[in-house]
Structure 1
């Protein structure tokens, strides 16, 4: 089995299920630290800042993490937006449907808020989404705004089950505008390319770890990474059996993985 220097690790369904702990996840991270291996949490969750994500891992799940180890579609989307404009983001505007984690990253670029005719509309998971927000996003895109979706997750695994994810919110705007969003998060490789650029690791010695074939594993495949599927979240053995492209490795729980 190939040895890896860098692990890109999903959160929901891999490190925890909502508020519920996955005990084997802590064992896995402790093993990575004991072997001086690099790891980053590559999540599709845009609702929290990297510091909030790290605090949740440390305080509620006793998993060693820093904000610098957290990579979100919010950060990757903000980086993408900065690259859209040659004359600087401060000369352009955006409308964002999402929580604080996404809004803080996007407006931290200097781009201006505009609910009527922005240059770009960005849609992510919003726990208080309303018809009015959908309406503003739809009309702005119809007026010509570039449409970005943070990630295509239809569901998120938490202690209550599989609840609606960002993809469910974004798909409503896609339906109302008859336009497909430009996706940044998993399964697109954009978020991995951002991680490589931001953190400087060698992708040839990195592996993607996750519980969802349609996001985590497909992202790894798209980016040319080896992949490790763990059966503690979304995807089942039956799901994987139907796939032509299989994960490089499969484990029932992460404590069974030999780093």
Structure 2
């Protein structure tokens, strides 16, 4: 592996799988810390606050500050603030997206919104989806924190946020705006915030359609690990290839 200054990791399927750590990834991150190399965690999971993600990582033996954690919730809140200003927002989602919107002083409402923001909500109901559909049909802009159709767990795949956003979009016959990976916005935030060149950054992940395409669209090197959502066999069928394909991060020496 060439010399990078910033290692950007996906979380679920890359650093851990559900509640189980991926040992090679944990060891690799610890080595980065020992060598005083910069690393960041880039997740499409909008359900947790940076503090909650930090605590979850610590349980896997990974030390990180909140400044090293970039979620689709944060990039979505930033986008809403920049493009919709003082708009009223109806939210489907958990702690992470609500915290991020609050940090950006965005006005959250239950009725007559200008924007509908959808993040993963493990307490999703028909009523919430119906409310979102009616708001969008009345002119609200539909924004999803991410478009993941499914998420890997130790028990198998479960529905991701994208499956619910696309349900609302299909009912309303609109195209939603997605801010998480594979949009390069989240990596651009890291680049601007820390002054890296794209050539100094590398995106590491298990999901070709989110992690790897995010890096490719951003213009940095990418590493696909065969530990999560998409197998190496499937990745090798893609037209645009990652810079590296490995079984796990034990194959790399720093």
TM-score, normalization by structure 1 = 0.94
Tell me the CA shift for residue 69 of structure 1: 0.7
Q: Does the 8 A contact of 1:20 with 1:158 survive in 2?
A: no
Tell me the CA shift for residue 241 of structure 1: 2.0
Tell me the CA shift for residue 251 of structure 1: 1.2
Tell me the CA shift for residue 199 of structure 1: 3.8
Correspondence for 2:66: 67
Tell me the CA shift for residue 137 of structure 1: 0.9
Correspondence for 1:42: 42
Deviation by residue 1:65-97 (Cα, 9 ceiling, x = unmatched): 121111001110111111114xxx4x3210011
Tell me the CA shift for residue 57 of structure 1: 0.6
Correspondence for 1:157: 152
The residue matched to 2:47 in structure 1 has which SS? Answer: coil
CA distance in 2 between partners of 1:237 and 1:211 (Å): 9
The residue matched to 1:84 in structure 2 has which SS? Answer: helix
Alignment partner of 1:147 is 2:147: no
CA distance in 2 between partners of 1:203 and 1:241 (Å): 24
CA distance in 2 between partners of 1:134 and 1:201 (Å): 40
RMSD: 1.3
Q: Does the 8 A contact of 1:96 with 1:123 survive in 2?
A: yes
Correspondence for 2:187: 192
Correspondence for 1:82: 81
Tell me the CA shift for residue 35 of structure 1: 1.9
* Structure 1 gap ranges (5+): none
Tell me the CA shift for residue 204 of structure 1: 2.3
Q: Does the 8 A contact of 1:115 with 1:140 survive in 2?
A: no
Range 150-159 or range 69-78, more displaced = 150-159
Q: Does the 8 A contact of 2:91 with 2:118 survive in 1?
A: yes
CA distance in 2 between partners of 1:194 and 1:79 (Å): 10
Tell me the CA shift for residue 191 of structure 1: 1.7
Tell me the CA shift for residue 116 of structure 1: 2.5
Deviation by residue 1:161-181 (Cα, 9 ceiling, x = unmatched): 111111111111111111111
Give every structure 1 segment of 4 or more consecutive aligned residues whose post-TM-superposition deviation is greater than 6 Å: none
Correspondence for 2:217: 222
Tell me the CA shift for residue 52 of structure 1: 0.5
Range 97-106 or range 196-205, more displaced = 196-205
The residue matched to 2:116 in structure 1 has which SS? Answer: strand
Range 125-134 or range 60-69, more displaced = 60-69
TM-score, normalization by structure 2 = 0.96
CA distance in 2 between partners of 1:182 and 1:234 (Å): 23
Tell me the CA shift for residue 200 of structure 1: 3.6
| 1:26-41 equivalent positions in 2, closer than 5 A | 26-41=26-41
